[in-house]
């Protein structure tokens, strides 16, 4: 259970260490497994979350790495979080 405090300060980057990338993976074009392999092996990212493996589009959150996985067919960069 989360506890709230009235003196909590919110700032950019809280809870995130490195640059994060949110990718949309179109499963009709590439499997989630192949997308994760490309992101981790080719682009050096660390996958920290996947929302689904059965939806037509799933979202993969990646921490660190240089980015660039959107060059792979079926993977689209949706957002970048950097601080």
41-72 pLDDT tens trace: 999 999 999 998 888 999 999 998 888 999 99
pTM over 0.85: no
Between 51 and 5, whose confidence is greater?
A: 51
pLDDT at 82: 82
Residue (of 7, 18, 5) closest to 81 by Cα position: 18
Q: Convert the pLDDT of each residue in 28-43 to its tens digit.
A: 999 999 999 999 999 9
Residue at 8 is within a domain: no
Residue at 2 is within a domain: no
Q: Which two tokens stand for residue 42?
A: 């080719």
Q: For residue 36, what are the domain limits?
A: 20-67+74-81
pLDDT at 4: 53
> How many structural domains is the chain composed of?
1
In this structure, the number of other CB atoms found within 10 A of the CB of residue 76 comes to 15
């Amino acid at each position: 259970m989360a506890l709230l405090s009235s003196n909590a300060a919110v700032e950019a980057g809280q809870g995130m260490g490195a640059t994060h990338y949110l990718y949309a993976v179109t499963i009709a074009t590439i499997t989630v497994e192949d997308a994760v392999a490309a992101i981790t092996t080719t682009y050096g990212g660390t996958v920290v979350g996947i929302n689904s493996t059965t939806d037509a589009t799933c979202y993969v959150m990646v921490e660190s790495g240089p980015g660039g996985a959107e060059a792979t067919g079926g993977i689209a960069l949706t957002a970048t979080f950097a601080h």
